[in-house]
């Protein structure tokens, strides 16, 4: 396996990280026991699995859809990740069966796509802009890598290497090749994984080609459109995106010239993830600079407080700086997941808590909101306010209640694979440093300069701020334990073997570096103060002026109608009122709620009037906020994140 | 001319009302000198006038559009209204020429429509749901009536009577007739005007048929769609309007069963206007009840503070109770104009200041905002907040700057005809009562029980609250002068011939009834207190919670970026701060501005941060508000009506 020489800290492989309890342990269990089986059932019932039999014939109902392959691939990837830490022979046998179907669907030349094999075989590689062939290929590659890493079985990996070889032989700058690149990015990051797994540099080069070629002139999407005999001046695109409408696909400029996050948010996240991967593998400074510029644009101007990205449902897209509408927020679950991917890749480039903070923000809020507590229902979009009566009026995308499945079902298997692979996001290993990015009850074996260091972490984080880490180097030796100090933290106490250590002087870029000769059984105790925080948004976020969000640790809170009655927007939290955090074991599987005395207008005198001179009286009301990720798990109703401040 | 026996107070005909100065005099002058000529030029340049030559041939560019006839008709109507009070031989000659073109375009059977004569002659009357044949016919009838009333010339009226006769022979319940009705209402109210002008009861019966037939089952739009061989299950309609999607056209139920204002707002207003007209002419109590129910739904739950209606651009439509988004408000100029029509018809049914108040609210705000101060540029939509950067992202309908014309150009000629006919809205005459609905410098001759009473009104209203009315009955006699006490008024002083009169005891349904033996030269002086009012919206209007609107008299105010800097949503008007009204003669043609000391967040410490613990400091800022109708007449920029209250 090639060493990524230029990267300083790499994630600890999944097989060496067990999440053993705390907050995420039960979530992973639900993911294994409910979500992964539910997704399989949906894939089976909707024909996604059987599509691989390639027995659909023209004229029959329910042809495979262009996206189908990716859904099954993400399910397989989730299975792979899950098996890495939780072996399950029955699940593995089920997956092996699906893999066999997939393998048999591979065409003699290596091609592997259900839709373009049975439905429109003449359209293969004819429309990279709109069709999802390379996107589906990318997900299959990710699945193959995950499954191989978990089980050691090469069946799917070999199939995908053959397919990748075909793709490599088809696309590129060399004579006779198509100079195309995918309309929906994904294969780029997958090819980097394939390279890291197989050591085959062609895959890295192909990923680099796809990224470098993007947005160049003459524009490939124009060329292929003309080859299809189609107009290149697309009306809806122009109306939605303006003249340089390939920004929809991050193809309006070569990637190194892109300064703002544009277009479809999921695609953007996958592209930026690949760019960071390539910067790490190649040491390309211009690519790194582009990544950092885009990172700042997204996280400093275009990201919801939940870590959601992509404000508009029209194009599922980024809009403009500080434009973060709440009720109509698209904030697709997949986009928040993509942001987690990207953050992890940026962390690999430079351990900086800015990245880990965003990763944590997205995970605990805009990602986790995407799946119900019971693991069986999903949100595709994650608005920051829900007014159910308005949902039918804002296009089609607002869902007042969680759904079991979607016609375009990218989100459920995406969240399943992320939760199954959560271990990849907790720790990194570097030659002399063990990094802790996220606090979660877990046991991990890190390779620090060739020696094994086992970390045992125990915590009820984020409900409490106490974290206990037992350090087990294989024998005593000097290295650095780098502990992330979350951006939200204002006060942390640290004891090493019972002795207080002042972390502030040790903190660089948000990581407290405790360097010492660590001995087996050394104990680090952290205690983060977890006050209820009132957060304000930048004055330019016009939707949130005069409003605050409640946050405690990494969790953002929201109000739900079931706790607070309807018309949540009329609730006021006066400045300075005490807000208590209280663990409520019987609520929503056990959560810390935030409670306080707010107020709201009385309805006196409002009968048959719409406007009147101001001067309503306010009455005190008990206000209860629950973690945002838990919303929509009880009775349907209103939800509100940004609350009026009095 | 038939007498409308059941109506108690009818508008004074336009020829007997001269607006002689004050607020509206100059607006009418701009309308005559700039707007009406500009609309003619646009109609000429875009081929709308020449379309009547019927010389377009298949294969040629720029075929007439289905709406063209209505634009020319509204221009002609505006000319007619204008000539009624301001004779202008050159304008009349120009109009006569256009009328001659129109007259010659009439087909041998009486049919009169440019599009369906030259572009799709085989589609005549084939798709009442989508095509605008009856709508165009209605506007032509209105033009013919106005032109005849102003000039006495019957040329166009005769043409339209022939066309109306053809329509009457084509549609109805009788055997051999089509049982259809227009997808875009308009002809119903026009036919009532034609009946009132000609005395021909068939026109009234035809209007009644169109209104009564609407929304009945089996549904005519289904029948005609099937006859065209088309699907009756329309996807976009269903997605936008739900299963009973004919609510888009107020055709989901028979009109008497309609309880909420639904669908396309302009169409709804024109329908309700006709319903009120028919209730007045026929004494139909069930129709009156439906009008009153719909009136309450609109004005108590679905109307912007500007009098704008139709909240959503998707379908240009009503949505649901209390759903009044500001930035994406559609609030089409034509819909506010339609609300003025309807209010006037309701006033005819019962003199109640509720109707006059809404009429005044729409006129001074959501209607007048639709035309620039110089009369040459227009707003089609009238949002209550403008954030220019957001405009391109919300579909196509948000216009950050006023336009000279629109491809679908209904609004400019609509506002031209309304302003030209404003005299119709000021006074009503009843057998024993002279009603004053609006305060405006004017001279009117009322027919009160067969005797002429001349009212001379002088006022700088709405800039000041002083109104002086000199009453000139042809000789002294006893009748009632009913003066509207606006709903916003909390204190009014009244003197009759210098003697104070307490109006409150005389006020019924918002009109102060001064009954006395009026002698020539009697003087009524009114003095309405005009404090700056802070208005709040119903708690259920979720967009306006925590916000106030500034109002003074009938004028609603707004903040513009040019006066207050950008990021208007972050400006706070603390409770209790003094707000001064000051006449600013050099601003916007002379307006009263509202000024006070507000505050806004400082930008300290916001560099590179999107969220942070609340606790920004606020700095005092001078805040200046201008009348909403004047916005967008200076440099483009932000605008905000509902301002944060501190």
What pLDDT shows up at residue B398?
76
What residues contact residue B190 under an 8 Å CB cut-off, 6+ apart?
B137, B138, B139, B141, B142, B145
Residue whose entry in the numeric block shows the structure tokens 């807000």: A579
3-state secondary structure of B298: helix
Give, in order, the Cα–Cα distances in Å from B346 to each of A133, B340, B342, B356. Answer: 62, 10, 6, 9
Among candidate residues B186, B262, B316, B458, the one labeled active-site is B316
Q: What is the pLDDT of residues A177-203, one digit of tens each?
A: 999 999 999 999 999 999 999 999 999
Interface test with B, best of A339, A393, A556, A577 (most B CBs within 10 A): A393
Q: Which of residues 239-268 of A touch B (CB under 8 A)?
A: 239, 242
Cβ of A303 under 8 Å from any chain B Cβ? yes
Give, in order, the Cα–Cα distances in Å from A594 to each of A360, A625, B55, B463. Answer: 20, 5, 74, 50
Asked whether A482 and A351 are in contact (CB, 8 A), the reply is yes
Distance from CA of A609 to the nearest CA of B (A): 5
Q: What is the pLDDT of residues B241-287, one digit of tens each?
A: 888 999 999 999 999 999 999 999 999 999 999 999 999 999 999 99
Mean pLDDT, chain A, rounded, equals: 96
Of B257, B419, B398, which is closest to residue B314 (Cα–Cα)?
A: B398
Cβ of A603 under 8 Å from any chain B Cβ? yes
Asked whether A482 and A429 are in contact (CB, 8 A), the reply is no
Task: State the Cα angle at B283 between B280 and B286, rounded to 5°.
Answer: 105
Q: From chain B, pick out residues whose CB is under 8 angstroms from the CB of A612.
A: 535-536
N- to C-terminal Cα distance for chain A?
Answer: 59
Asked whether B270 and B188 are in contact (CB, 8 A), the reply is yes
What pLDDT shows up at residue A400?
86
Return the percentage of chain A with pLDDT > 90, whole number: 93
DSSP tag of A408? S
Nearest by CB to residue B300, choosing from A390, A549, A608, is: A608
Q: What is the pLDDT of residues A21-78, one digit of tens each?
A: 999 999 999 999 999 999 999 999 999 999 999 999 999 998 999 999 999 999 999 9
Integer Cα distance of A252 and B19 in angstroms = 57
Residue B462: is the preceding peptide bond cis (ω within 30°)?
yes
With cut-offs at 50, 70 and 90, classify the pLDDT of residue A398.
Answer: confident
What pLDDT shows up at residue B243?
85
What pLDDT shows up at residue A2?
35
Please report the DSSP string for B196-227 in residue order: HHH--HHHHHHHHHHHHHTT-SS-HHHHHHHH
What pLDDT shows up at residue B646?
85
With cut-offs at 50, 70 and 90, classify the pLDDT of residue B395.
Answer: low
Integer Cα distance of B99 and A445 in angstroms = 90
Cβ of A504 under 8 Å from any chain B Cβ? no
Give, in order, the Cα–Cα distances in Å from B471 to each of B253, B445, B468, B517. Answer: 48, 10, 10, 11
Integer Cα distance of A230 and A126 in angstroms = 12
Q: What is the pLDDT of residues B174-196, one digit of tens each?
A: 999 999 999 999 999 999 999 99
**Domain A427-528: which topology?**
Maltose phosphorylase, domain 3 (2.60.420)
Interchain contact, A314 vs B570, CB within 8 Å:
no
- Pair of tokens at residue B241: 């309007």
DSSP tag of A167? H
Q: What backbone torsions phi and psi does residue B534 show, to the nearest 5 degrees?
A: -100, 125
With cut-offs at 50, 70 and 90, classify the pLDDT of residue A314.
Answer: confident
Cβ of B296 under 8 Å from any chain A Cβ? yes
User: Quick check: A563 pLDDT over 80?
Assistant: yes
User: Quick check: B2 pLDDT over 60?
Assistant: no
User: Quick check: B430 pLDDT over 80?
Assistant: yes
Asked whether B482 and B351 are in contact (CB, 8 A), the reply is yes
Closest-CA residue of A relative to B323 is A390
What is this model's ipTM?
0.96
The Cβ-side half-sphere exposure at A58, using a 13 Å CA radius, reads 5
Nearest by CB to residue B616, choosing from A239, A299, A536, is: A536
User: Quick check: B4 pLDDT over 80?
Assistant: no
Annotated domain spans of chain B? 46-214, 427-528, 533-645
User: Quick check: B393 pLDDT over 90?
Assistant: no
What pLDDT shows up at residue B239?
83
User: Quick check: B232 pLDDT over 80?
Assistant: yes
Give the helix/strand (H/E) hosting B275.
Answer: helix B265-282
Distance from CA of A103 to the nearest CA of B (A): 39
Q: What is the pLDDT of residues B102-158, one digit of tens each?
A: 999 999 999 999 999 999 999 999 999 999 999 999 999 999 999 999 999 999 999
Closest-CA residue of A relative to B311 is A393
Q: What is the pLDDT of residues B10-67, one digit of tens each?
A: 999 999 999 999 999 999 999 999 999 999 999 999 999 999 999 999 999 989 999 9
Asked whether A362 and A339 are in contact (CB, 8 A), the reply is yes
What pLDDT shows up at residue A399?
80
Interface test with A, best of B546, B551, B600, B616 (most A CBs within 10 A): B546
Give CA B407 to chain center in angstroms: 20
Interface test with B, best of A530, A542, A642 (most B CBs within 10 A): A542
Cβ of A612 under 8 Å from any chain B Cβ? yes
DSSP tag of B311? -
Return the percentage of chain B with pLDDT > 90, whole number: 93
User: Quick check: A392 pLDDT over 90?
Assistant: no
Give, in order, the Cα–Cα distances in Å from B407 to each of A319, A434, B50, B98, B184. Answer: 27, 65, 16, 21, 18
What residues contact residue B369 under an 8 Å CB cut-off, 6+ apart?
B306, B333, B379, B382, B628, B629, B631, B632
Interchain contact, A548 vs B303, CB within 8 Å:
no
Interchain contact, B603 vs A539, CB within 8 Å:
yes
3-state secondary structure of A74: helix
Integer Cα distance of A255 and A562 in angstroms = 46
Interchain contact, A548 vs B614, CB within 8 Å:
yes
pTM of the entire structure?
A: 0.95
Q: What is the pLDDT of residues A4-30, one digit of tens each?
A: 444 578 999 999 999 999 999 999 999
- Residue B605, classified by CB atoms within 10 Å of its CB into exposed (0-12), middle (13-18) or buried (19+), is exposed
The question of whether B9 is a catalytic residue gets the answer no
Q: What is the pLDDT of residues A279-293, one digit of tens each?
A: 999 999 999 999 999
- Pair of tokens at residue B52: 């009547």
User: Quick check: A112 pLDDT over 60?
Assistant: yes
- Residue A475, classified by CB atoms within 10 Å of its CB into exposed (0-12), middle (13-18) or buried (19+), is exposed
Integer Cα distance of A528 and A122 in angstroms = 60
Among candidate residues B291, B410, B411, B558, the one labeled active-site is B410
Helices A155-170 & A187-198 angle (0-180, nearest 10) = 120
What pLDDT shows up at residue A11?
96
Mean pLDDT, chain B, rounded, equals: 96
The question of whether B458 is a catalytic residue gets the answer no
Cβ of B301 under 8 Å from any chain A Cβ? yes
With cut-offs at 50, 70 and 90, classify the pLDDT of residue A589.
Answer: very high
What pLDDT shows up at residue A1?
28
Cβ of A354 under 8 Å from any chain B Cβ? no
What does DSSP say about strands A591-601 and A571-573: parallel, antiparallel, or unpaired?
antiparallel
Q: What is the pLDDT of residues A196-252, one digit of tens each?
A: 999 999 999 999 999 999 999 999 999 999 999 999 989 888 888 888 999 999 999
With cut-offs at 50, 70 and 90, classify the pLDDT of residue A394.
Answer: confident
With cut-offs at 50, 70 and 90, classify the pLDDT of residue B550.
Answer: very high
Q: What is the pLDDT of residues A456-485, one digit of tens each?
A: 999 999 999 999 999 999 999 999 999 999
What pLDDT shows up at residue A397?
66
């Amino acid at each position: 396996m090639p060493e990524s020489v230029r990267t300083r800290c790499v994630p600890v492989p999944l097989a060496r990280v067990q999440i053993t309890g705390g907050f995420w342990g039960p979530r992973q269990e639900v993911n294994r026991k409910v979500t992964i089986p539910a997704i399989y059932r949906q894939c089976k019932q909707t024909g996604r699995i059987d599509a691989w039999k390639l027995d659909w014939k023209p004229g029959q109902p329910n042809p495979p859809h262009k996206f189908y392959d990716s859904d099954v691939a993400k399910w397989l990837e989730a299975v792979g990740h899950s098996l890495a830490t939780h072996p399950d022979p029955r699940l593995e046998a089920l997956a092996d069966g699906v893999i066999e179907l997939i393998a048999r669907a591979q065409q003699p030349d290596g091609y592997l796509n259900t839709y373009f094999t049975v439905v429109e075989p003449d359209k293969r590689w004819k429309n990279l802009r709109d069709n999802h062939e390379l996107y589906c290929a990318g997900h299959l590659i990710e699945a193959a890598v995950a499954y191989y890493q978990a089980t050691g079985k090469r069946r799917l990996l070999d199939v995908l290497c053959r397919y990748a070889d075909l793709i490599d032989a088809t696309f590129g700058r060399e004579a006779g090749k198509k100079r195309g690149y995918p309309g929906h990015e994904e294969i780029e990051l997958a090819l980097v994984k394939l390279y890291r797994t197989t050591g085959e540099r062609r895959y890295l080069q192909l990923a680099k080609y796809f990224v470098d070629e993007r947005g160049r002139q003459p524009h490939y999407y124009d060329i292929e459109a003309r080859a299809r005999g189609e107009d290149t001046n697309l009306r809806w695109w122009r109306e939605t995106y303006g003249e340089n409408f390939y920004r929809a696909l991050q193809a309006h400029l070569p990637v190194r010239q892109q300064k703002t996050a544009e277009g479809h948010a999921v695609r953007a996240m996958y592209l930026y993830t690949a760019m960071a991967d390539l910067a790490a593998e190649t040491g390309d400074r211009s690519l790194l600079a582009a990544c950092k510029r885009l990172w700042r644009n997204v996280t400093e101007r275009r990201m919801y407080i939940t870590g959601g990205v992509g404000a508009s449902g029209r194009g599922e897209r980024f809009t403009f700086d500080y434009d973060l509408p709440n009720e109509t927020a698209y904030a697709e679950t997949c986009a928040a997941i993509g942001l987690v991917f990207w953050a992890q890749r940026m962390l690999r480039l430079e351990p900086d808590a800015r990245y880990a903070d965003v990763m944590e923000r997205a995970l605990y809020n805009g990602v986790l909101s995407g799946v119900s507590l019971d693991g069986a229902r999903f949100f595709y979009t994650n608005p920051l306010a829900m007014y159910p009566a308005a949902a039918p009026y804002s296009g089609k995308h607002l869902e007042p209640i969680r759904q079991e499945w979607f016609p375009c079902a990218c989100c459920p298997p995406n969240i399943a694979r992320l939760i199954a692979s959560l271990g990849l996001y907790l720790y990194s290993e570097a030659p002399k440093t063990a990094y802790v990015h996220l606090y979660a009850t877990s046991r991990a074996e890190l390779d620090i300069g060739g020696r094994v260091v086992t970390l045992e972490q125990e915590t009820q984080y984020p409900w409490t701020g106490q974290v206990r880490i037992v350090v087990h180097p294989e024998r005593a030796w000097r290295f650095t334990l780098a502990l992330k100090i979350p951006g939200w933290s204002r006060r942390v106490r640290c004891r090493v073997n019972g002795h207080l250590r002042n972390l502030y002087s040790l903190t660089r870029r948000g990581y407290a570096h405790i360097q010492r000769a660590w001995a087996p059984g050394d104990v680090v105790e952290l205690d983060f103060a977890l006050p209820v925080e009132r957060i304000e948004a930048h004055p330019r976020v016009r939707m949130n002026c005069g409003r605050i969000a409640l946050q405690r640790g990494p969790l953002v809170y929201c109000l739900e109608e079931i706790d607070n009655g309807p018309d949540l927007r009329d609730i006021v939290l006066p400045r300075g009122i005490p807000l208590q955090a209280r663990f409520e074991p019987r609520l929503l599987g056990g959560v810390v709620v935030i409670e306080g005395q707010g107020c709201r207008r009385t309805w006196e005198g409002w009968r048959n009037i719409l406007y009147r001179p101001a001067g309503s009286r306010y009455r005190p009301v008990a206000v209860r906020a629950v973690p945002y990720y838990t919303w929509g798990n009880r009775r349907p109703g209103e939800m509100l994140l940004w609350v009026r401040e009095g």
